[in-house]
Structure 1
Amino acid sequence: MTTLVLCVDRSNDIGRKAGLTTPVVGWEAVRSLVTDVGLADPEDSNVNCILEALRVSRDLRDEQEDAVVAVVSGVSETLTGADRSLAAQIDRLVDEYDPESAIVVVDSAGDERVVPVIESRLRVDSVDRVVVRQAHDIESTYYLLKQFLADEELRSTVLVPLGATLLLMPLLLTQFSPAIALAGLASLLGAALLYKGLAIDQFLAESPDRVRDALYSGQVSIVTYVVGAGLTLVGAFLGALEVTPRGTGTGAALVSTMEFVYHAVPWLALAALTASAGRLLDELIGTDGVSRQYLNLPFGVVALGLVVRGFAGWFLEREGILLGAELFGWPVSARQRLALFIVSGIVVSVVGVRIAATMSGEDGGDAETREEAVEP
């Protein structure tokens, strides 16, 4: 079994600097060639490429394999002519030595493009890319940059927002102070990256099709979603009306936030409950059974609303904004009221889990499994 260890120089740097005609074949001839190229240009990476080809050939011989080392160059001023020249030299080597496989040694991404030409004539077992250790970071960065620029999606995601930012920078700097201009550009760039990173563009592109399919299929959820959106706006509006200005500071902002949450949460919970009810009706109408998650969702929404409203009310009672409550004529303190809301939320959640498990048939399935396990 003969293996051809092939050092490829697509740009013909070796032929020009050594003043030789390729292919150069044989251990002694290639070892002499590396001396000539190194003396002509010690900084040339082809020196390392030829030495790597010699090392691979020596290792194969140590393993009792028949190896032929050769150096080929693209003798032409154009890339097409260089590739044809390399193809002719490889054909000559294949006819003369009849190798069964080849190991290709290259030192750049450009030389690696010749690998398909070699594979069309000979089986390639390995491609050994030599990178000079001192230039490893530069070479890798250059290679990754070429791959980045070749990817259309990455270019549109990164380069387009960056280019728009650089174009707007002079205009904003002439109209506003540097701080405002830089803040605006940073916000614009961040919004563009989030728009692409969160796949908002894809969601918006698919939304018309989803709405049309929902309308044509007669889904109830499309109506309940609109109702839920309206209730959400109502809750936000009423919550904002109940907020009382209390000056500046962290405490004042926290109290104002709790006022908004306390008055908006019932409407927001009702909006979520309406939307989930529509989704549940779609499942009941369109399928034979309903999955547990859709049955459990309305109870989870109510439980979460109770717990959040309870905590918001506790904060407001501590600040004296919310008056004490009564339960069946008995006064209830802030802590008792909070505990009542928390317990109610937990009870609603547990009831929802139990109902969902019963209606989805999971308990029946588990019982049957247990009965089968008990039977001998």
Structure 2
Amino acid sequence: MTTLVVCIYRGAKLDTDPPVVGADAIEGLVTTVGIDDPEDSRVNCLLEGLRVSRDLDDETVLAVLSGDGDTVTFNRSIASQVDELVSEYSPESAVAVVDSAEDERLVPIIESRVPVDAIDQVVVRQARDIESTYYLLKQFLADEQLRTTVLVPLGLILLAFPALLAVFESITVSVGAIAAVLGVFLLYKGLNIDGLLATLSASIRDALYAGKVSLVTYVVAGGLAMVGVFVGALGATSLDRAADGELIIVMQFLYDSIPWITGAALIASSGRLLDEIIRDDNIGAAYINLPFVAVAVGLALRGFAAYVIQRSDVSDPFVVPAMNYGPIEVEQFSLAPGTLLAVFILGSIVVSIVGVRVAAYVSSVGYNNIEQSS
């Protein structure tokens, strides 16, 4: 088995035309390069190539690939030298010896012509961290997207800090304002808000062109949700924070806003279900069950909120009015907080079970219709 051991020598021209082949020729090259510049890291690369060639059990061909010029010229020169070696020696595998992460990027050129079994990177121990940091910094500055994502915000912060300090005359306020803006920017990038906004605009445009019912129901649902938040805020602000506590205020907000938000979720899910009905006869069970889930969750949340505010004596007990249906006559009575919570939970469970049964029935009917038509 013949293995090609190649050392990549980037930079100054050699005394002989590359590739330089053979251990004797490379030993002479090591002496020449080492005398000219003892601090040259490429000397270590050549010595490592000699060591790898000596330690391998199979037959080896040791060669040095070299060149200069710009990136394209250098890469083409390396490719031409590899082609020459492959044509002359017909190696079955190769080992690439490099002295930097930048030279390691040339390995695919070699690998496209002969299988590369190993990559041996040689870095002087004292300079390993410095060399790696320098290369990473160089790659970072060469990446336009990273520059605009990291360097531009840092530059804006450095420019804004003196201005904010002059306006507020307080380091704490200035640092807080910069931290808030930086946090919003990081969340914007980290959550890919720009991509979501682009997708949302495309979805809205497609919905307008396709005439989807869900577009209208989403708008109505958004309006109902805003009304729910407004109603909940009115109910929460009517309480005294010092007397009632923050937990009761939150529960009052949920109790007042949940019906509106549940209605919003019900309308939005119903619109999506209508779109699926119009578009396809075979409706998924999830779309059918979604309105029932919205109502069931709303009932459960409303029940827990009602239980908390009634136990805290913020709200009056729930009163069932008197009913008279012919021979059936029910007098007015009130429900204890625990009984009311049980009623809400039971209603939530019943609605969810009905949703599952309806979804299963509709899905089975649709599946049977498909089988009959096929």
TM-score class, shorter-chain normalisation, is: 0.7 to 0.9
User: Please, which runs of 5 or more residues in structure 1 have no aligned partner?
Assistant: 369-376
2:233 equivalent in structure 1: 240
User: Superposition pairs for residues 56-67 of structure 1, below 5 Å?
Assistant: 56-60=52-56, 62-63=57-58, 65=59, 67=60
Q: Is 1:161 the counterpart of 2:153 in the alignment?
A: yes
Is contact 2:7–2:98 with CA below 8 Å preserved after alignment?
A: yes
Q: Is 1:47 the counterpart of 2:37 in the alignment?
A: no
1:226 equivalent in structure 2: 219
| 1:189-231 deviations in Å (ceiling 9; x for gaps) | 1211221222221222233332222122221111111111111
1:6 equivalent in structure 2: 6
C-alpha displacement of 1:349: 0.9
SS at structure 1 position matched to 2:315: coil
1:373 equivalent in structure 2: none
1:207 equivalent in structure 2: 200
Letter in 2 for 1:59: D
* Count of aligned positions: 354
Instruction: Tell me, in whole angstroms, the C-alpha distance in 2 between the residues paired with 1:227 and 1:170.
Output: 46
Letter in 1 for 2:97: V
| 1:138-162 deviations in Å (ceiling 9; x for gaps) | 4444444444444444444334333
Q: Is 1:130 the counterpart of 2:121 in the alignment?
A: yes
1:371 equivalent in structure 2: none
SS at structure 2 position matched to 1:8: strand
1:100 equivalent in structure 2: 91
Kindly tell me: are residues 47 and 278 of structure 1, through their superposed partners in 2, closer, same or farther at Cα, counting changes over 3 Å? same
Kindly tell me: are residues 159 and 126 of structure 1, through their superposed partners in 2, closer, same or farther at Cα, counting changes over 3 Å? farther
Letter in 2 for 1:215: L
Kindly tell me: are residues 39 and 231 of structure 1, through their superposed partners in 2, closer, same or farther at Cα, counting changes over 3 Å? same
Kindly tell me: are residues 265 and 106 of structure 1, through their superposed partners in 2, closer, same or farther at Cα, counting changes over 3 Å? same
Letter in 2 for 1:160: V
Letter in 1 for 2:11: S
Is contact 1:104–1:124 with CA below 8 Å preserved after alignment?
A: no
Kindly tell me: are residues 248 and 149 of structure 1, through their superposed partners in 2, closer, same or farther at Cα, counting changes over 3 Å? farther
Instruction: Tell me, in whole angstroms, the C-alpha distance in 1 between the residues paired with 2:211 and 2:232.
Output: 34
C-alpha displacement of 1:240: 1.2
User: Superposition pairs for residues 84-95 of structure 1, below 5 Å?
Assistant: none
Q: 2:64 aligns with which of 58, 62, 71?
A: 71
SS at structure 2 position matched to 1:289: coil
| 1:217-260 deviations in Å (ceiling 9; x for gaps) | 221111111111111111111111112252459x6222211111
C-alpha displacement of 1:262: 0.7
Instruction: Tell me, in whole angstroms, the C-alpha distance in 2 between the residues paired with 1:308 and 1:91.
Output: 73
Is contact 2:23–2:50 with CA below 8 Å preserved after alignment?
A: yes
| 1:282-318 deviations in Å (ceiling 9; x for gaps) | 1111111211111111111111111111111111112
Kindly tell me: are residues 303 and 134 of structure 1, through their superposed partners in 2, closer, same or farther at Cα, counting changes over 3 Å? farther
Kindly tell me: are residues 45 and 142 of structure 1, through their superposed partners in 2, closer, same or farther at Cα, counting changes over 3 Å? same
C-alpha displacement of 1:83: 6.3
C-alpha displacement of 1:169: 2.1
| 1:300-345 deviations in Å (ceiling 9; x for gaps) | 1111111111111111112210111234633321112112211211
User: Superposition pairs for residues 1-376 of structure 1, below 5 Å?
Assistant: 2-12=2-12, 24-31=20-27, 33-34=29-30, 43-60=39-56, 62-63=57-58, 65=59, 67-74=60-67, 98-100=89-91, 102-112=94-104, 114-115=106-107, 123=114, 125-126=116-117, 128-132=119-123, 133-176=125-168, 177-243=170-236, 244-247=238-241, 252-327=245-320, 329-361=332-364
Letter in 2 for 1:128: I
User: Please, which runs of 5 or more residues in structure 2 have no aligned partner?
Assistant: 321-329
Instruction: Tell me, in whole angstroms, the C-alpha distance in 2 between the residues paired with 1:198 and 1:267.
Output: 29
2:324 equivalent in structure 1: none
1:372 equivalent in structure 2: none
Instruction: Tell me, in whole angstroms, the C-alpha distance in 2 between the residues paired with 1:276 and 1:80.
Output: 57
Q: Which moved more, 1:203-212 or 1:300-309?
A: 203-212
SS at structure 1 position matched to 2:245: helix
Is contact 2:281–2:366 with CA below 8 Å preserved after alignment?
A: no
Q: Which moved more, 1:132-141 or 1:178-187?
A: 132-141
Q: Which moved more, 1:237-246 or 1:158-167?
A: 158-167
| 1:93-121 deviations in Å (ceiling 9; x for gaps) | 678x545365332111333455577678x
Percent identity, aligned pairs only?
52
Is contact 1:25–1:71 with CA below 8 Å preserved after alignment?
A: yes
